[in-house]
Amino acid sequence: MRRMLFCTLALALLLLAGCRGTVDDLAGDYESERVDLSPARLTLRTDGGGSLTVGAEEAPFRWEVRDEGRVVLHTRQGGIISARQGRGTLELDMPGSGKQVFRKKAK
């Protein structure tokens, strides 16, 4: 019985550590690859906060990683923006401007 409890606890800790690693890996600054629009920067912080800056306007949001690695941004106005992860990129379906790919900046 103790062995089963220990194994269950160890598995739960490994899963939690794996989830935290994903957040740490995603956190950072990203820049839009589209050149036909105003420069856009996306910032994801490890505390779940972030911001999207387009030109001189900045919009704060909360973010989380959901099933299958999908990243979801929650705006203060109640909007939800879904993003798909790539290798060093996030592809967002932006209201009004369509899909935008943001590439993570090197530290």
pTM: 0.74
Closest CA to 51 of 73, 33, 69: 73
pLDDT band at 68 (very low <50, low <70, confident <90, very high): confident
Q: Are 18 and 65 in contact (CB under 8 A)?
A: no
**Closest to 64 in 3D by CA, of 44, 36, 90, 91:** 44
Cα separation of 21 and 91, whole Å?
A: 20
Q: Give me the domains of the chain, ranges plus CATH numbers.
A: 2-104 (2.40.128.640)
Per the prediction, the chain carries an average pLDDT of 80
pLDDT for res 67:
80
The b/e string for 59-83 (b: 16+ C-beta within 10 A; e otherwise) is: eebebebeeeeebebeeeeeeebeb
